Amino acid sequence: MNKITVDEITRDDLTATILRAKRRAGLTWADIAAAIGKSPVWTHSAATGMNAFPDDVAYTFADLLGLPDSAISLLTDSPLKVWTQDVPTDPCLYRFYEIVGVYGPTLKALINEEFGNGIMSAIDFSMQVEREPNPKGDRVRVTMSGKYLEYANW
C-alpha cells in the first residue's frame, strides 16, 4: 500500500490526522505544548491550521506525533484563518459567541475608554486556559492578551 503524501491531502485532512495521532499517543495538548516549547492554546491553534508552525517547531511536532516529514509544508504554510460566522450549536462554542454577543459592546467600550479609539489585536495575541478551584464548582479561567492597535486617522 502506498503512503499518502501531504501533497495529496488538504489541511483539513492533516488536522484529522493530527487529532488521531494525538489520541493514539495518549498525549494532552499541554503535553505536546511542553514538548515543543509553546502554549497549549497556540499549539492546538497551529495544529488545526489557524497558526503557522516555525520550521524547527514543525519538525519537533511532526516527530512527536509520528507525522511524515512531508507534513512540514502544510504545518508551516501561512494560515487562512477561515471560520464561519454562523453561531455553532456545540454548547461550549456557543457560550463563547454568547459572551461576545452579551459583553462584546462592553469590552469595546472599556478598551476605547482605557486606550482610545482602537482594537485588541488577534494577531499579536496570547491566551491561557486554566482551572480555577471554587467551592461551588471549578471554574474555567480564560485570559486573553492582545496588543492594542490604534485606528489610523487618514
Enumerate the active-site residues. 95, 98, 121
> How far are the Cα atoms of 26, 56, 57, 64, 78 from residue 68, in angstroms, in the given order?
19, 15, 14, 11, 19
What is the spatial distance between Cα 42 and Cα 53, in angstroms, rounded to a whole number? Answer: 10
> Taking a C-beta distance cutoff of 8 angstroms, is the pair 26, 53 a contact?
no
**118-132/139-150 β-pairing:** antiparallel
Question: Strand, helix or coil at 124?
Answer: strand
Q: With residue 150 as reference, give the H or E element that holds it.
A: strand 139-150
